[in-house]
Structure 1
């Protein structure tokens, strides 16, 4: 258990200071030195939440990338996707509503780490399909619980600009997980499932190491000057919340902020309290996020496998021919394009770009629906003649890039906005209640994207089959050769 020094919110009086100031004190008061210390503090915060997002999601990507190697050829690969998302959905739906009282971050993160590692060990050590699915389910549950825990952890930082920066870097890490996970499995897959997946079981231990030894404590940001917050605030400063510095106590056993006199330790939100908090979020945040992920994963799992074209010849397409050597190269290419654009769009806030205005939060879902319809039409009928495959490939490339951008922007902006919401004025006087309400609200949003992914998995199989049949009817037989 890590211990932190107490930070007092009472300013020192001038008469309390020693009349003689040594060189070290003068050095600490040097604005350049102090500015450098503050910069390193925010760098540690950003790196910590980036690693949280990366490590928490990378096992999910490794499992999907290894699907062909984890199940027999006769087994539908969709069962891997189902076991990789359904337990995470259970964690996101159930945990925020079942939990009462304060969140014990140390206990929860330690449990997630051990559960993820154990799940991957079960996958690596087992030969039977059933036990491998059990291991995948354990790792999935841990990933879902970990995601909502890190998002909730971001709300404990003050002021709001620091909390928003935490969400931005976490989202960036989750986007990087797609690229890193696919690359890692590509590198270790030649070692086999037992060794390759076994090596990945070590990765979850990066989370507690980061939490205990890299992540700055919340009290570290309360001592900074207001000008520092302006430096790290989002470009859209109208959403910056007022904050009250809460002094950190010596008792850090439960990793919680100590409360000022008069606050209640025994606060616990009731089921009715939680429902009243959720109702305003359904249309504002959950519906746009659900729709984006429903359309996005229907494209990835149901339409993208049918976006196939003849292998480009070096004479006609010198660039495309270097990327595509066989028909089977199209789907991995689309996934690479998607994962890359998701990473950059989820990193938009951490890169200093302004968040989407609230009125535009539904725009990614609308664009995603249009992309789904256009790509579905391309797969079934074709936007261009059959002899213009080069134009079709370029068009699909651009549309899938836009798909990834919409998905990433929806994720980071929804969680950023909920992180920055003003507290209920009726409970603002009760610090502990306000804290629990913020944690619950951001944690309750997470099931929307997982539900969209699960519904998309159910739609993807009939969508792929029907699109392939439509291609066969017009004489395009490429989907039958895979």
Structure 2
């Protein structure tokens, strides 16, 4: 950041001055963007948290007559049809399959949305409808095909929402980037936490999903009735959203300019993508293989608490921008790769019998991923010229989504490979 740039100095001053010194209008927008981050990522998180349960229930329903009661929170009294002769407790389908359904449509929508000039109000309306449909479809599904359809709706919703809200943030005070990132971290904790808690209390996974219909309603109300462009952003408060977008058409980047800008964004996108690639190899390729039978928790319960632990790390680091800023995202990628190797060795050889060590490493994994996300988008918001900022913030979100999609494919291969291996150290698994 150039020290001679008065605008950047003013932004830095405001960022370091704390929430108590910003104007009430900006506070309102900070709360609004925190809620938008929360609501936007909620469906995505819930689908990943429920992945093990949904695949398990669908597998049991395909094999058992009569079908098991859905009212049972875990359905773990049913025979373990998903084990194999290696002694490992494996679902026939990796949770990486849910991940692919939860991310590939998001990649598609994120690739197209920055090139389309549609009113933000229209895009947000579509986002809320898709989110609501995802909860309804999955909650009433009894087959993998229908389940995947619901997850795809969640993916389209979160993908379109992320690129829309990140692009729209250029009309607000720069601190909304931090608020948005913190809200997405909150979605992880509240989403994974509420799912783990409600199912632990006895609600079935599918009933729990129905309760989440309050989330898209909250998103709709927040966008249309809470936030408004800040006087310190790049648009005047008195200009309506649709007119605002129309008056900016003349200064919008051409298609060729957008393609050219993407080359300059690679220095932000590649390190972020690497962090997320290794992160989701762990989450969807290895989490379900880290089963400790002596812990007192069922396999499904362990998976849910792994997801919550990870999301807590994400929340902490995505909320840390006010206190610490990281420029070397490549270092975070190296640390995440190290984390992946540790988890890979644990899932194959069971080198540690301590569930608490695994919880600690999962929390660290979440810290690294959240830090990479918030610092990458903060740097883009501060370093990219104003005219290119809207497009850059939107298209850069492709980095993590594309990496997650690649990780989904690889995680299925890793799951099948490890599940075919005999357990070499079963002394504490018996």
Change (3 A) 1:366 1:422: same
Task: Name 1:229's counterpart in structure 2.
Answer: none
Matched, 1:438 2:389: yes
Residue of 442, 447, 464 corresponding to 2:398 = 447
Give the TM-score, by structure 2 length.
0.78
Change (3 A) 1:450 1:150: same
Unmatched tracts of structure 2, length 5 or more: 1-18, 63-91
Q: 3-state DSSP class of the match of 1:280?
A: helix
Task: Name 2:224's counterpart in structure 1.
Answer: 212
Cα distance in structure 1, aligned partners of 2:294 and 2:141: 39
Matched, 1:142 2:157: yes
Give the TM-score, by structure 1 length.
0.70
For residues 317-337 of structure 1, the C-alpha deviation after alignment (integer angstroms, 9 at most, x for no partner) is xxxxxxx44566543443332
Change (3 A) 1:403 1:257: same
Task: Name 2:170's counterpart in structure 1.
Answer: 155
Q: CA RMSD in A?
A: 3.0
Cα distance in structure 1, aligned partners of 2:371 and 2:139: 35
| Deviation, structure 1 residue 36 | 7.5
Residue of 183, 187, 190 corresponding to 1:177 = 187
Q: 3-state DSSP class of the match of 1:279?
A: helix
Task: Name 2:344's counterpart in structure 1.
Answer: 376
CA contact (8 A) 1:104 1:255 kept: no
Change (3 A) 1:207 1:191: same
Cα distance in structure 2, aligned partners of 1:191 and 1:333: 16
CA contact (8 A) 2:181 2:319 kept: yes
Matched, 1:353 2:341: no
Q: 3-state DSSP class of the match of 2:253?
A: coil
Matched, 1:466 2:423: no
| Deviation, structure 1 residue 63 | 2.1
Matched, 1:88 2:106: yes
Q: 3-state DSSP class of the match of 2:320?
A: coil
Matched, 1:274 2:258: yes
Structure (1 or 2) with the larger CA radius of gyration:
1
Unmatched tracts of structure 1, length 5 or more: 1-34, 223-244, 313-323, 424-433
Q: 3-state DSSP class of the match of 1:362?
A: helix
Tell me the matched-pair count.
376
Cα distance in structure 2, aligned partners of 1:196 and 1:87: 24
Matched, 1:111 2:114: no
Task: Name 2:86's counterpart in structure 1.
Answer: none
CA contact (8 A) 1:112 1:146 kept: yes
Change (3 A) 1:372 1:135: closer
CA contact (8 A) 2:26 2:230 kept: no
Cα distance in structure 2, aligned partners of 1:277 and 1:112: 27
**Further displaced range: 373-382 or 41-50:** 373-382
